């Protein structure tokens, strides 16, 4: 498998001041922690390099992800995990005042992100904003209400555009499938926050307090992680421990700045810094 040369990698990492890190396929696969992850994160912590986990998955809260990582032996606070639900909440809050009515089509984690602090008000057809995300218990009634709200003029946001969602049973409909249903019924398209859109990247950079030129987007998917980083002007780094294989890498027009087989070169780089 072709990886970036050590010289090119070192030159790129010398410019890196922070990381936005995808989770599934980079940090873990299912419930299995991937190789070199604890050493890499410890190296960043030891050298004061800020990083933030960023996932398109809107079905779990940051605390639920933190608990999952803790079970793998990775101690990471929920405040260092940015989900597409949290990023969507941040984007909507930037645009709408307290008390705005929001219709949510999504799981408990998305409802918590939008309503837990009382800033927004749960609403139905009269909502000013509709927010949709992955939803494993979707009902026709929820689609109908969101459809009517959008047709009445509500602005529509979607946590991410992923058409499918991987589970132990197989591939199932994701947030993008719900977007397709509402699009068919309304002829409207949402503001998509998650990768490959740059909304989540913008939220992450605000949290990190760093600029795009000095931030690495580390991910395993060309069409989400790497494309989002490319669009936002970040240094893009593809790790081949997730869904991307060599055939896809050669066939797609998306080209990462850096390609690594696993995280060991990053561990080696930061170890040499002392």
Q: Catalytic amino acids?
A: 22, 24
Q: How far is CA 202 from CA 86, 92, 194, in A?
A: 12, 13, 10
Please name which of 82, 234, 104, 80 lies closest in space to residue 157, comparing C-alpha atoms. Answer: 104
37-46 vs 264-272: helix crossing angle, rounded to 10: 30
Please name which of 174, 123, 170, 117 lies closest in space to residue 149, comparing C-alpha atoms. Answer: 123
Provide the b/e sequence for 128-153 (b: ≥16 CB within 10 Å). bbbbbbbbeebeeebbebbbbbbeee
Q: Which residues are registered as beta bridge partners of 115?
A: none
Strands 164-167 and 51-55: unpaired
């Amino acid at each position: 498998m072709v990886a970036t040369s050590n010289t090119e990698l070192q030159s790129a990492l010398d410019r890196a001041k922070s990381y936005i890190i995808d989770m599934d396929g980079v940090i873990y696969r299912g419930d299995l922690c991937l190789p070199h992850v604890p050493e890499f994160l410890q190296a960043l912590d030891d050298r004061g390099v800020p990083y933030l986990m960023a996932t398109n998955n809107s079905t779990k809260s940051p605390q639920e992800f933190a608990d999952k990582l803790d079970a793998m032996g990775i101690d990471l606070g929920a405040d260092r995990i940015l989900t597409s639900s949290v990023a969507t909440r941040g984007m909507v809050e930037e645009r709408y005042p307290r008390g705005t009515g929001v219709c949510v089509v999504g799981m408990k984690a998305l409802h918590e992100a939008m309503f837990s602090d009382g800033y927004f008000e749960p609403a139905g057809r009269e909502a000013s904003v509709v927010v949709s995300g992955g939803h494993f218990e979707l009902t026709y009634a929820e689609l109908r209400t969101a459809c009517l709200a959008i047709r009445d003029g509500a602005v529509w946001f979607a946590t991410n555009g992923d058409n499918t969602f991987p589970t132990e049973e197989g591939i199932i409909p994701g947030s993008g499938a719900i977007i397709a249903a509402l699009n068919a019924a309304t002829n409207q398209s949402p503001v998509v926050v998650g990768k490959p859109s740059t909304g989540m990247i913008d939220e992450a950079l605000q949290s990190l307090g760093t600029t795009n030129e000095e931030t690495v987007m580390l991910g395993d998917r060309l069409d989400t992680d790497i494309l989002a980083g490319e669009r936002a002007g970040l240094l893009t780094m593809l790790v081949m421990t997730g869904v991307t294989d060599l055939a896809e890498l050669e066939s797609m027009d998306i080209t990462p700045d850096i390609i690594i087989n696993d995280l060991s070169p990053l561990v080696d780089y930061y170890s040499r810094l002392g």
